[in-house]
């Protein structure tokens, strides 16, 4: 089960990467530069495939956070959420490593993953 969660988080992190890349492409386009249309299409396709692996509830949460933050998913290091730099309660820190749940920062709501 733990492995399964890890997978969900891994999918989410990969999704975030793709979304950031797609956003960069859109920004370059807005500035009037040529973009590699084929590359952009491949990214979009990869995103569509990835999304199928992510639980609907997590995806909804991610999409909502993405409207609010540039990065919806952030790492935790030294018990600190690297999105808002607030300390993550020890209870969550202990949970985050073992629990089946994908956890969010209590302060900013971003989805958390632990750097091992
Ligand atoms: Zn936070």
pLDDT on residue 98? 66
73-77 sheet: strands from edge to edge: 80-81, 73-77, 111-114
Q: Are 76 and 65 in contact (CB under 8 A)?
A: no
pTM of the model: 0.84
Compute the distance from residue 36 Cα to the ligand 1 centre, in Å. 35
Residues with CB under 5 A from ligand 1 (ion): 81, 83-84, 105, 107-108
Confidence band, pLDDT 50/70/90 cuts, at residue 64: very high
CATH top class, domain 2-114: mainly alpha
pLDDT on residue 99? 57
* Per-residue pLDDT tens digits for 3-34: 565 678 889 999 999 999 999 999 999 999 99
In the chain, pLDDT over 90 holds for what percent of residues?
71
């Amino acid at each position: 089960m733990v492995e399964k969660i890890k997978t969900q988080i891994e999918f989410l992190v990969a999704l975030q990467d793709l979304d950031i890349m797609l956003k960069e492409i859109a920004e370059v386009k807005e500035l009037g530069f040529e973009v590699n249309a084929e590359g952009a299409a491949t990214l979009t396709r990869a995103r569509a495939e990835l999304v199928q692996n992510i639980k609907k509830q997590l995806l909804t949460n991610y999409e909502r956070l993405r409207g609010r933050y540039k990065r919806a998913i952030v790492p935790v290091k030294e018990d600190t959420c690297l999105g808002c730099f607030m300390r993550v309660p020890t209870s969550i820190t202990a949970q985050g490593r073992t629990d089946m749940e994908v956890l969010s920062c209590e302060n900013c709501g971003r989805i958390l993953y632990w750097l091992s």
